[in-house]
Amino acid sequence: MLKDYLRLHFIVLLWGFTAILGKLISVPPVELVFWRTLLASVGLAVLLLARKQPWQIPAGEAVRLLGVGVLVAAHWITFFLAARLSSVSVCLAGMATLALWTSFLEPLLLWRRIRLYEVGLGLLTMVGLYLVSQAEFDQMAGLLVAILSAGLSALFSVLNVKLVKRHAPLRLTFYEMSGACLSIALFFPVYGRYFTNGTGLQLALHGFDWLWLLVLAGGCTVYAFSTSVELMRRLSAFVINLTINLEPVYGILLAVLIFGSQEKMSIGFYMGTLVILFSVLIHPVIERWNKPRQRQPEPVEAVI
């Protein structure tokens, strides 16, 4: 059990390292996500073949999964863009609003009742965001893009709650990564003409880009996801969700260690971030208290 807990914290540490890798890799966010999804698709295909899992699904289901992949691509592009527009710490503070977005989207898309404690925690998160925005006003653009990225992440996660019941997690992720990669490839002609200031596509990798990309696609995506799926069979949904909510904490600490003074923020930023993280971490605890007699844990949202 101790080994499982350590592995879980390690993969959450890898997810927290993602924004830092986005800073280290030199190519722009759109090209970066293309490379990440391409390499992840290849890695997942290898895993499917190695485990002899079937990958064929009906055409209608394939279209749905590929469509969710478009949302995944949009989420990752905005995520890496936020890290470029601001600091890693501000980006992760905005991404911590994922639980707030989920509390709004789940009742709309899954037709469940609104929970009053989630509304209260959402208001607390807004207070934290206000403190962060006032403290780091010059990084407002990055914070807003990160909040948008969190919304996109919440959207595809809520959609995956239904889809993961019909498809094996590895196969589901393979199709979504393929959909993300394909959608970016189809967007390239428009992107290269209108969004690159005349420089065109910048797919060439330089220096250590290949190394960081392999860590991003292999470690932070394929390995982390497949390991999290394996751990879901032995650890409770409560433990997994609570640990995953530590991702911004690990990410901010890593950013301070790696980038040093570039990531040092004002007191107001840390106060606001602590408020947001408190609302995020207390959510699964309150949810568990409200469901003491629940026989089976709720399905854990697929994390990609």
pLDDT digits (tens, 9 = 90+) for 66-88: 999 999 999 999 999 999 999 99
Indicate whether 51 pLDDT > 50.
yes
Which residues fall within 8 angstroms of residue 91, CB to CB, at 6 or more apart?
19, 79, 82, 83, 142, 143, 146
Where residue 33 falls among pLDDT bands split at 50, 70, 90? very high
pLDDT at 300: 45
What is the arithmetic mean of pLDDT over 264-276?
89
pLDDT at 299: 44
What is the arithmetic mean of pLDDT over 234-263?
81
pLDDT at 297: 43
pLDDT in tens, 133-172: 888 888 999 999 999 999 999 898 888 878 878 888 889 8
What is the arithmetic mean of pLDDT over 4-28?
91
Burial of 176 by CB count in 10 Å (0-12 exposed, 13-18 middle, 19+ buried)? buried
Where residue 301 falls among pLDDT bands split at 50, 70, 90? very low
- Tell me phi and psi for residue 232, to 5 degrees: -60, -20
Terminal Cα-to-Cα distance of the chain (whole angstroms): 24
Where residue 296 falls among pLDDT bands split at 50, 70, 90? very low
Where residue 303 falls among pLDDT bands split at 50, 70, 90? very low
Rounded Cα distance, 58 and 64, in Å: 10
Which residues fall within 8 angstroms of residue 45, CB to CB, at 6 or more apart?
55, 174
Indicate whether 214 pLDDT > 60.
yes
What is the arithmetic mean of pLDDT over 276-297?
72
Where residue 292 falls among pLDDT bands split at 50, 70, 90? low
- Looking from the CA of 274 toward its CB, the CA atoms found within 13 Å total 7
Q: What is the CA radius of gyration of the chain?
A: 19
DSSP code string of the chain: -HHHHHHHHHHHHHHHTHHHHHHHS-S-HHHHHHHHHHHHHHHHHHHHHHTT------HHHHHHHHHHHHHHHHHHHHHHHHHHHS-HHHHHHHHTTHHHHHHHHHHHHH--PPPHHHHHHHHHHHHHHHHHHHHTGGGHHHHHHHHHHHHHHHHHHHHHHHHTTTS-HHHHHHHHHHHHHHHHHHHHHHHHHHSSTT--------TTHHHHHHIIIIIIIIIHHHHHHHHTTTS-HHHHHHHHTTHHHHHHHHHHHHHGGGG---HHHHHHHHHHHHHHHHHHHHHHHH-TT-SSPPPPPPP-
Rounded Cα distance, 15 and 103, in Å: 22
pLDDT in tens, 93-133: 998 888 888 888 888 887 878 778 888 888 888 898 889 98
pLDDT at 227: 83
Rounded Cα distance, 241 and 8, in Å: 10
Of 29-43, 136-150, 223-237, the least confident: 223-237
pLDDT at 238: 61
Indicate whether 298 pLDDT > 60.
no
* Per-domain residue ranges of the chain: 2-290
What is the arithmetic mean of pLDDT over 209-231?
88
- Tokens 């901010």 belong to 252
Rounded Cα distance, 249 and 177, in Å: 26
Indicate whether 7 pLDDT > 50.
yes
Where residue 202 falls among pLDDT bands split at 50, 70, 90? very high
pLDDT at 96: 85
What is the arithmetic mean of pLDDT over 278-286?
83
User: If you count them, how many residues does the chain have?
Assistant: 304
> What's the sign of the alpha-carbon dihedral 231, 65, 287, 10?
positive
Indicate whether 228 pLDDT > 70.
yes
CA 100 to chain centre: 14
Of 170-174, 226-230, 296-300, the least confident: 296-300
